[in-house]
Amino acid sequence: MDKLDIQEKLLGGIFGVISIVAAVAETIAGGIDAAAIFGMIKDISGTLVVVVVMLAVAKMLAPKKYKKSFEDRFNAALDEWVESNSNMIVHNERMNKSSDDEKEARYGLGMKTDMNEFYDSGSSSGIGWFVRMPVIKEKFYNYSISETDKSKTGAVIEFHMNKSTFCGTNGKATDAEWSEKSAKLGKQFAGYINRKFADFAKAVTASGDIIKVSILQPVYTDEDISRLIDLINTMYNAYLVASHIEVK
């Protein structure tokens, strides 16, 4: 439902309420008898449909209220995703990026670089950072997009392509080879995200092995959080498909 359609339904509902009030007032002013009452019911019944539609739209637009905070809900969703992919995904303090400026700090998740861990998970020293995003606070995710400035975006998520993930645990590729391969991979990954999440995010390749994904809408509801987790999971699956494995 677009913005113009919503406005039309809300205005229609408001005028519907006015029509109902006018019909009741007219009946009272003209004298109440059986014919007048039936006539009023006939006039009101058609208008009530418009009013019901307005109430449904108003309820849809009203912000949802949750018992738990955004931070609790988002952290719980991330923890659940990490746990379900714990054979490859790691979260520890080393994956985060600290900063005295809260806006520059990042929440991070790591990914094991030896693809054999996917089949037989164990302790691995080969872990590189996979994704970094703003620290988990509502103010960094829930915002309003300016209608006059489409260049404004919300949270920016960064995905990192580790050389060992795509070239083997020993990184068997020269710097020039990796530069060429990471550029091609980054283009593929960004294009995939843009096609799958066209209304939600915009991905671009950044400095060689970084893909930046700008979220194009506020993230607050459980549905928004689920969509963001789905985006992270989609990139994770894309990495698995494109990864290099040295079978042991």
CATH number of 70-242: 3.30.1460
Written as one string, the DSSP assignment of 149-217 is: -TT----EEEEE--HHHHHTTTT-S-HHHHHHHHHHHHHHHHHHHHHHTTTTEEEEE-SSSEEEEEE-S
Whether pTM exceeds 0.75? no
Extents of the domains making up the chain: 3-61, 70-242
Structure tokens at 65: 């209220």
Q: Count CB atoms within 10 A of the CB of residue 24.
A: 13
Question: Over 80: is that where the pLDDT of 102 sits?
Answer: yes
- Lowest average pLDDT, out of 96-110, 111-125, 172-186, goes to 111-125
Q: Identify the pLDDT of residue 149.
A: 46
Question: Over 50: is that where the pLDDT of 238 sits?
Answer: yes
Q: Identify the pLDDT of residue 147.
A: 44
